[in-house]
Amino acid sequence: MTSDRDSAPATPMGSPPSSTITVLVIPADPAHPHRLVAVDPSNDAALGALAGGGLEPVDLDRDGAVL
């Protein structure tokens, strides 16, 4: 079965265009493998599709934030 996350409008890693960022996608379902994709960071729909839902920004400059 294919979910919306699996068909996200992202580009598999290779030679990403200069306006993209590299994203490590770690699915919640362990049956799906993790993968690197290139995605345009200004494309909220693509980022939401990769996340499988909504997005929430996180300030990593905060004390106690860990990446």
Nearest-5° angle of CA 1, CA 20, CA 24? 45
Q: What is the pLDDT of residue 2?
A: 47
**In the chain, what are the domain boundaries?**
11-51
The ranges of the chain with pLDDT < 50 are 1-5, 7
36 in Cβ contact with 24 (< 8 Å): yes
- Rounded-to-integer distance, Cα 45 and Cα 42, Å: 9
Contacts of residue 3, Cβ cutoff 8 Å, sequence gap at least 6: 52
User: What percent of the chain is helix, strand and coil (3-state, nearest 5)?
Assistant: 10, 20, 70
